[in-house]
Amino acid sequence: MSARPYEWSDLEIFLAAARGGTLASAAEALRVDASTVHRRLGKLEAAMRAGLFVRSPRGYALTEAGQDLYAHALAMEEQATAAFRKVVARDEQPIGTVRVATVEDMAVNVLPPIVATFREKHPNVTVVVDVGQSFVDLAKHEADVALRFGSKPPDGDVVVRRALFADIGLFASRAYLKKHGRPKTPEDLYDHALVRAAEEHLRLPMERILERYGNRAKVAFRASSFYARIGAIRAGIGVGFVPLFMAAGDKSLERLHLAFPETPRGADLLLVIHVDMRKNARVRAFAEHAFAGLVAQRSLFEVGA
């Protein structure tokens, strides 16, 4: 039998380039160099004896031959992924590794005690936490369980359980308030230093409030991470919104109850697994334990819980 003129990984690179439309996006998705993507695509086109892409300054567009290959390659990927999920889901004993995708705030403040009590029941399961990647693709087995903040269930063949609602509040350190005074109305925020989210998060409801009532010239600290922002607030840098669960029990912080016309709101915390993983013993055991652990902590997350 003659050697196959291409490798399965060539099709993976082809799919990434077709989806992203550029060498850079394909390279980023696959975590390889753009030169590698360029070389492997050339190799695949030589093997197929057909041009698969039309190259232009704007990116890569599929030719007619490329469109035909894309349909077949996509079907192959879907079948391989489904087969992998079914094999993985055949586990009958809670042994092995459970990969959890979530955000830094949950990984630091909430997950450790849940994992500790889970490990007492299932000492043969290792829990791996992927911080900052809660929106992984569960269908591709990038994680087993995802803990996501959001207002709507994610797309795909997933099982979603709403664990709780994570409220937010406006906080300042007691030291900051002693030094700079206490804002008593939303308009008072204009004269205070602010701790805010990164620029790309300006559409969040809490950010729209600070944009409306705060002074951009007095923004003292920005960070994409709530964990970094609450650290800044604790240090007395300024006033800012953080989830209630992060400030719970912290006597150095004080919540500021200002009468905003629009009530600042948080988001649902969703526990998500792929439908095929419901039969996997270790994933099912962790998901059930984590859900119960989160529900038990609702009073830390929700106003009036």
Give 1-46 pLDDT, tens digit per residue. Answer: 344 566 778 888 888 888 888 888 888 888 888 888 888 888 888 8
Does pLDDT of 66 surpass 90? no
Q: How far is CA 149 from CA 132, 152, 153, 159, 280, in A?
A: 12, 9, 10, 15, 24
Give the model's confidence band at 59: pLDDT under 50 very low, under 70 low, under 90 confident, else very high: confident
Q: What is the model's pTM?
A: 0.63
The 3-class SS string of the chain reads CCCCCCCHHHHHHHHHHHHHCCHHHHHHHHCCCHHHHHHHHHHHHHHHCCCCEEEECCEEEECHHHHHHHHHHHHHHHHHHHHHHHHHCCCCCCCEEEEEEECHHHHHHCHHHHHHHHHHHCCCEEEEEEECCCCCCHHHCCCCEEEEEECCCCCCCEEEEEEEEECEEEEEEHHHHHHHCCCCCHHHHHHCCEEEECHHHCCCHHHHHHHHHCCHHHEEEEECCHHHHHHHHHCCCCEEEEEHHHHCCCCCEEEECCCCCCCCCCEEEEEEEEHHHHHCHHHHHHHHHHHHHHHHCHHHHCCCC
Give 172-227 pLDDT, tens digit per residue. Answer: 999 999 999 999 999 999 999 999 998 878 778 889 999 999 999 999 999 988 88
Q: Nearest 5°: phi and psi at 178?
A: -65, -35
Give the model's confidence band at 256: pLDDT under 50 very low, under 70 low, under 90 confident, else very high: very high
**What is 8-88's CATH number?**
1.10.10.10
**CATH number of this structure's domain 168-256, picked from the four choices 3.30.390.30, 1.10.10.10, 3.40.190.290, 3.40.710.10:** 3.40.190.290
Give the model's confidence band at 294: pLDDT under 50 very low, under 70 low, under 90 confident, else very high: very high
Name which of 258, 257, 150, 268 is nearest 212 in CA terms. 258
Predicted confidence at residue 85, as pLDDT, reads 65
Does pLDDT of 138 surpass 80? no
Predicted confidence at residue 265, as pLDDT, reads 80
Average pLDDT across the chain, whole number: 86
Name which of 212, 193, 218 is nearest 261 in CA terms. 212
Domain residue ranges in the chain: 8-88, 96-166+267-301, 168-256
CA 100/CA 142 separation, integer angstroms: 9
Give 93-103 pLDDT, tens digit per residue. Answer: 677 899 999 98
CA-based angle 89:286:161, to the nearest 5? 90
User: Which range, of 52-56, 85-89, 100-104, 254-258, averages the lowest pLDDT?
Assistant: 85-89
Predicted confidence at residue 91, as pLDDT, reads 54
Pick 167 or 204 by higher pLDDT: 167
Q: Is there a shared CATH topology between the 8-88 domain and the 96-166+267-301 domain?
A: no
Give the model's confidence band at 142: pLDDT under 50 very low, under 70 low, under 90 confident, else very high: confident
Q: Which range has highest mean pLDDT (155-169, 228-242, 252-266)? A: 228-242
What's the CATH class of domain 96-166+267-301? alpha beta
Q: How far is CA 45 from CA 13, 24, 55, 92, in A?
A: 12, 19, 13, 44
Predicted confidence at residue 262, as pLDDT, reads 83
